[in-house]
Amino acid sequence: MPRLDRASAELWARKWAWYQRSRLPWRRAQLHYELATRQAFARGPVHGNALQLLRERRLELGAHVLLEPGVWLTSDTGRIAIGGGSILNLNVMIAAVEEVTIGEHCMLANGCLVTDGNHRVDDPDVPVPWQGFTTKGPVTIGDNVWLGANVVVTSGVRIGRRAVVGANSVVVEDVPDFAIVAGAPAQVLRTISYG
């Protein structure tokens, strides 16, 4: 059985602390304090680097934002803004290279991914996880938008207000206001009309 030398053990401990940073009890308490100052709520663990983003003012949360268990908010240098009254359901992931903006009173169902980035794969001599990210531009989701379960929103996309995106859809182009879209890639099925 291999033995763990001191240098390897120290490196492992640093990595463990980094990967577990959002799960440590004092970090969870600090996160909930930061959420409370913004009148936002998390019902379970929030993954990623949400606490760091809040402290650096790169994560903006409106009043009454609700983060369900397993939400993952992450960015190295970008910004994430989530409007008041929005709900991110179980295991939603928001990843920003530059900027992801979600409007007020939006609902993201279980398993959605919203990102303005994509992994680079252009250097055959560098492992993919080390190549960094590229982006086609920010993502903007308008007010009162509903994303069904497991929707993927890709970089450079704008989703108009009161749009609905069907479950398991992949949004690669802009979605107009009041549109119902579905598919991979998502296509307009019809427009919502009131009255």
Q: What is the pTM of this model?
A: 0.91
pLDDT value of residue 16: 85
32 is catalytic: no
CB 4 within 8 Å of CB 12: yes
pLDDT in tens, 82-102: 999 999 999 999 999 999 999
25: left (phi over 0), alpha (psi -120 to 50) or beta: alpha
Cα diameter, the chain: 72
Tokens 């379970």 belong to residue: 44
User: What type of residue sits at position 5?
Assistant: D
pLDDT in tens, 28-87: 899 999 999 999 999 989 999 999 999 999 999 999 999 999 999 999 999 999 999 999
Assigned superfamily of 6-191: Hexapeptide repeat proteins (2.160.10.10)
Is residue 19 pLDDT above 90, yes or no? no
- 173 SS3 class: coil
- Of residues 32, 47, 64, 119, which has the active-site annotation? 119
Report the pLDDT averaged over residues 136-147.
98
- How big, in percent rounded to 5, are the helix, strand and coil portions of the chain? 20, 30, 50
pLDDT value of residue 122: 93
pLDDT in tens, 170-190: 999 999 999 999 999 999 999
